[in-house]
Amino acid sequence: MRVLFRADASAAIGSGHVARCLTLAAILRASGAEVVFACRELPGNALARLAADGWPCLALPNAYPGEESALGIEAPLPWQADIEALERCLAVEPGFDWIVVDHYALDHRWQAAARRWGRRIAAIDDLNNRQHAVDILFDQNFTARDPEYAGRALTPCRQLLGPRYALIRDEFRRPAVPIKARAQRVLVNFGGLDGVGETWKAMQALVDFQDLQVDFVAGTANPRLAQLQAMAADRPSWRVQTFVKDFAELMAGADLFIGAGGGTSWERAALGLPTLCIAVAENQQANAERLAAAGAHVYLGTSQAVDVAQLKQAVGFVLGNVGLRRSLAERSRSLVDGLGARRFAVALLGASLDVRRVTPQDSPLLFDGRNHVAVRRASLNSAPIDWVSHQAWLAAKLQDRDCLLLVAEAADGPVGVLRYDRAAERAEVSLYLFAERMGLGWGRALLTRGERALREYWPQVTGIDARVLPDNPASIELFRNSGYVQSASRFERVVKDQVHD
């Protein structure tokens, strides 16, 4: 599978769009996909960093004819010029299975034009300022399901919405940050650029907390970097870093985080790291407020509204209240499990899922998969299956002309098993996933790909049935989201009492 990412980074835009695309791209590449980035050569761009990390890059111009550079990062780009620049870069490139665009300035017109290079389009969005013509619309924020966001998709598409899909790197999937009775370490980070100077504000607010170890992470493009370094120079418990190789490890060692309301919100939540949040951009406010309402962090307000004294007071209050810090940790961890990027990746990879008929050589694979405790728990027959019985069952099913037994495979290995049992013009479907594939959305991909195979083998089938245990909400949701209609419940009446000896 080939995937093209279209995202930009610059001094004005920041690095967040490219960073979250990289999180997704790393999982796709590890799963066997070929990934290419297309970015503009804007001041402060990410092209050199991407190339140094081994990502193939297409360099687009830093200026387009008719572009109003003074406008904000949400202002529309001359999309035709961007498409023409891509045309020149992609003249000798083969097509892509997916194009993923993460850009506030590109809308449905760009997406429709970009289909000449990609079979499918996915958009990463967290605003309501433009419309999309895509196959997948992704928004990890709490606000994604709000009514005012409902009209973003011009055509029906799959929508991955909310913190369940938060794009978090694997290194943030670790045990929760321990909540100590006495807080000792504070971590301050407002992104790689911090053009509004919040790191400097935090430094001033922390001056009187002399017992604290404080890490300030400020990129080389931070306009106040020299001031930050000078103020920290004579304080041995303070450290200013311009580059952190393992940010998750640094966060895991902190007792309090002071930062913005962007993508780092989800990393903090996954770790259960108590946070004081200040919104540094308008598009961060609504989500920061919603996270505060959910008890996941303390939101102080916008950068313009929060002064040094207010921040200092908030630091003292949170550090001195261990009960509050424990509550923040528990609530934030309940929202984000760290698997969001993998769920997004599965939504892309599932379109290329392969299915084939089961052979006798697959017997150990099916035996282990079917006997996994999670699979048995969701099965109509929850008892373990012994090897002899399994072998006999498989041999019978492979000979049964009314049974279609399939194994689904991705580029990095088997995903799950599908079985269709035919009766006249209808077929009943059952499926299970292998243990390492559970909870990521592969079930929907199995049903979609299995249905295509069913049509190929049994074109006469006009309907598919499924039986699901009533206490299996995950399977019920899977079939509902896959276009199945739930019928009335099955009832049974015993008309003869059991005979007792």
96 close to 4: Cβ distance less than 8 angstroms: yes
Compute how many other C-beta atoms are within 10 angstroms of the C-beta atom of residue 74: 15
Distance CA 69, CA 80 (A): 16
Known active-site residue 17: yes
Handedness of CA 93, 169, 353, 444 (dihedral sign): negative
Distance CA 202, CA 194 (A): 12
153 close to 134: Cβ distance less than 8 angstroms: yes
HSE-CB at 309 with a 13 A cutoff on CA atoms is: 0
Distance CA 284, CA 34 (A): 32
Please report, for residues 144, 153, 412, 451, the alpha-carbon distance to residue 353 in angstroms, rounded to integers and kept in the order given: 28, 25, 11, 12
Annotation-wise, does 267 bind a ligand?
yes
Annotation-wise, does 290 bind a ligand?
no
**For the chain, the helix, strand and coil percentages under 3-state DSSP, each to the nearest 5:** 40, 20, 40
Radius of gyration of the CA atoms of the chain, in A = 26
Write out the two tokens for 277: 């949040």
Compute how many other C-beta atoms are within 10 angstroms of the C-beta atom of residue 400: 12
**Concatenated DSSP letters of 18-62:** HHHHHHHHHHHHHTT-EEEEEEE--TT-SHHHHHHTT--EEEEPS
Exposed (0-12), middle (13-18) or buried (19+): which is 92, by Cβ within 10 Å? exposed
27 close to 348: Cβ distance less than 8 angstroms: no
Distance CA 501, CA 496 (A): 15
**HEC secondary structure over 360-425:** HHHHHHHHHHHCCHHHHHCCCCCCCCCHHHHHHHHHHHHHCCCEEEEEEEECCEEEEEEEEEEECC
Active-site residue, from 17, 103, 108, 297: 17
Q: Which residues pair with 299 in a beta bridge?
A: 277
Q: Which residues are annotated as a binding site?
A: 169, 267
Give me the active site residues, please.
17
Binding residues for substrate: 169, 267
